[in-house]
Amino acid sequence: MLSGWDATEGAKLRFFKGLAAFYRTTGDLRRAFDFLAQEHASGPVGAAARGAAQAVAAGATLDEALGRTLDGIDPVEHGMLRVGERTGEVDAVLDALATRLESRRTARTALRRRLAYPLFIVHAAGAVLAFTAILGLTTWLTPLGYFALLYGIAGAVAITVRRLRASAEGARRLLGLPVVGGLAVDGARARFTSALALLYDAGVPLGEALDVTADTTAWAPIADEIRAAGRVVAGGQPLSTAIPPMLAHPVLVDAIRVGEATGTLGETLTRAGAHYRERVDRGRERLVTVLHAIVYGLAVAAVVYVVITVYGSYFAMLG
């Protein structure tokens, strides 16, 4: 079963790809909506297309129409849709948004595959405990207690991280953690460079593009620094003089300086974004390797526990 996030992202991907194809063929946004609604007669894509067609007919812009009818539109997507209408490059913008969603889905799928086996082992340990419980051998940790502990810890960590990163001080503490903090900062750099390049190449003024890009990060202090950079750039200064301090890194600094000097800022930011995505992928691989080792250790401990418990009970009965 798809999670809510997967279903929303999948619907957006189908919507943007279909709308781009029909708009490129017809050259008319309302007709493109009609064709998309006919192709997806049922489901969220068809419903969004019908609703957007009605909104556009009533005088709404494309951005306004999709904001009302298509779930999960994020700040970058809103900015790109406004740019598409402003520049007349709606089909190119829709293609770019579909490509962005496809890349995110590919990355998410790859991460799930890497995590599938250790998650299986962790849950298999619960099955082992259930086996010992059926035999009446487990006394201090029941399967229910095991899974309650497992999901309780995972939920507590998720809630704590979400609350901490919403505040400036909490986010700084998390970003300062060894290994995972550096991985989170690289992820923020990848989103910053990719989103900024996408908006800048589409013709959005750099100051406005920075404001939109700030909304794409979940880290409050980083978002504040990006907005401050947007104000500096809007005042006429180059971005190289206002690089967000928490994102500053030799590759990013060089990309911005070279891009501004040569007039290829979008291209150099795109290359920098690819570099940071590779760094994030390598960091995740290292974390998954460590997780595998921990899980294998737990699995061995569970097997040893079961063996000792079974044989201990057996010898106790003999005695």
Query: Residue 126 to residues 14, 113, 154, 303: CA-CA distances in angstroms?
Result: 39, 21, 15, 11
The confidence score (pLDDT) of residue 2 equals 45
With a cut of 70, say whether residue 158 has pLDDT above it: yes
CA dist 275 and 273 (Å) reads 5
> What's 314's domain CATH number?
1.20.81.30
Backbone torsions φ then ψ of 43, nearest 5 degrees: 100, 175
Residues 96 and 171 in one domain: no
The domain tally of the chain equals 2
Q: What is the pLDDT of residue 136?
A: 62
Beta strands in 107-204 (DSSP E): none
**pLDDT tens digits, 292-304:** 787 777 767 766 7
Of 58, 83, 101, which residue sits at a domain end? 101
- Is 233 inside a domain boundary? yes
Q: Say if residue 297 is in the same domain as residue 190.
A: yes
Task: Encode pLDDT of 208-260 as tens digits.
Answer: 889 888 877 778 888 899 999 999 999 999 999 999 999 999 999 999 999 99
Same domain, 94 and 194: no
pTM attached to this predicted model: 0.70
- Is pLDDT of 1 > 60? no
User: Contact at 8 Å (CB) between 94 and 84?
Assistant: yes
Q: What string of DSSP letters covers 71-131? A: TT--HHHHHHHHHHHHHT-HHHHHHHHHHHHHHHHHHHHHHHHHHHHHHHHHHHHHHHHHH
Q: Which of 235, 258, 232 is nearest to 245 (CA)?
A: 232
The reported pLDDT for the residue numbered 142 is 65
| Domain with 271 in it | 166-319
CA distances from 39 to 2, 7, 50, 60, 156 (A): 22, 18, 11, 23, 43
